[in-house]
Amino acid sequence: MELHSLKPAKGAVKNRKRIARGVGSGHGRTATRGHKGAKSRSGYKQKRGFEGGQMPIQMRLPKIGFKNPNRTAFAPINLDRLQAIADKFQLTTVDVEALINNGIVRKGTLVKILGTGELKSKLEVKAHAFSASAKQAIEAAGGSATIEE
């Protein structure tokens, strides 16, 4: 076997279908588009979501819910996660900048401390918001909870 004698396997290569090249080709006249209608014409393009004139699904389904455009989204951090962060990075002061530097939250994110879990160490915590239970738990452990602007 030589490079010049290589051939594709038998039946692997088909001839290209030559559309609209006369009746003798078998694909002339309507050029495989069928008879009449928008789909047979040039420049035809169906609208996205078009269901053949049937009422489209986005119109059949009811409108639900409400998205508040003035909502402030916080990145939630629970006390047990706060404890793990403080242990891992040996922190006594946990503020938003420390969380960003250690890859816990992204820059420009608002942080809210939530009260799930247990806080063992005395921490000085600075965040954009605190739940009442989180603030109580931080102060019970001897730390301080300060709201950052």
The structural domains of the chain, ordered by start, are 74-147 (3.100.10.10)
Mean pLDDT of 88-98: 92
pLDDT tens string 103-144: 999 999 999 999 999 999 999 999 999 999 999 999 999 999
2 falls in which pLDDT band (50, 70, 90)?
A: very high
The length of the chain, given as a count of residues:
149
* pLDDT higher than 90, residue 1: no
pLDDT tens string 14-31: 999 999 999 999 999 999
Per-residue b or e along 37-60, where b marks 16 or more CB atoms closer than 10 Å to that residue's CB: eeeeeeeeeeeeeeeeeeeeeeee
**pTM here?**
0.59
* pLDDT higher than 90, residue 149: no
